[in-house]
Structure 1
Amino acid sequence: MSANILVIISSGDADKALTGMMYAYNAMNYGWMDKVKVVFFGPAQNLLATHDAMRDMAGRIVEAARAADKDLAPTACKFLSDRDDTSNAVASLGIHVEYVGQLISDFIKDGFTPLVF
């Protein structure tokens, strides 16, 4: 069984999104899983542009991912962030902004277990 997870943060509810972000950060930081990929998708992306606690946690996730594996840098959906005019705000946190449909599918095909918050 794979010890790799794909954490998809999509909730527009900051408390729910932060719960997922906290789990992802701790899984990276404490080695609970072999690999952790974080994808911001949907309403959560707008919170990254405006919510201080989410911006802070996103910075911690970026640093933990950078230390673990540069290929696992957190990513946000380009289509949605362009639509909502948040691409620059999200990218300023160190989060890659790119189309994520194929990316999510590829991680699942590669054996990553999806967790959605």
Structure 2
Amino acid sequence: MKMNTNTNKIVVLWTSGDPEVAEKVCLMYTEAAKKNSWFEQVVLVVWGPSAKLLSENPMLQTKIKAMQELGVQVEACKRCTDTYGVTAQFEKMNIDVKGMGEELSDYLKDGWHSLSF
């Protein structure tokens, strides 16, 4: 029997454009998951309306930077950032902007836990 070695990895899919969901649920949990070692690897994917929200909200940008410093890997959907005109801004924030459809599918096929907000 093959042991699943990815049970200690989580990808958090952030799609909501609601600032309260971002601050009080999504980013709070994602940061705590890394800070408290609930998961060894924590990836946050910024997708859809969350890209617009993040581009306009300095407080959330500060939270993302702090999470990156803890070791949370932050990625964003390139089509989404292009749609909102924020790709360059995200790249300056050291967010890995790329096509996310196949990437997310690979996380799921590789057995990563997933959580969506």
Q: TM-score range by the shorter chain?
A: 0.7 to 0.9
Aligned to 1:82: 82
Q: Aligned pair count? A: 111
How big is the alpha-carbon RMSD for the aligned residues of Structure 1 and Structure 2? 1.4
Q: Which residue of 1 aligns with 2:13?
A: 8
Structure 1 unaligned segments of length 5 or more: list them: 66-71
Determine the structure 2 residue equivalent to 1:92. Answer: 92
Percent identity of the aligned residues?
28
CA distance in 2, matches of 1:90, 1:47: 12
Structure 2 distance, partners of 1:14, 1:24, is: 15
Matched, 1:28 2:34: yes
Q: Which amino acid aligns with 1:87?
A: T
Q: What letter is aligned with 1:99? A: G
Q: Tell me the secondary structure at the aligned position of residue 8 of structure 1.
A: strand
CA contact (8 A) 1:22 1:57 kept: no
Greater CA radius of gyration, 1 or 2?
A: 2
* Structure 2 gap ranges (5+): none
Moved >4 Å (runs of 4+): none
On the 8 A contact 1:48/1:89 being kept in 2, the answer is no
If the length of structure 2 is used for normalisation, what is the TM-score? 0.88
Partner of 1:69: none
- Pair 1:60 & 2:60 matched: no
- The answer to whether the 8 Å contact 1:77/1:100 transfers is yes
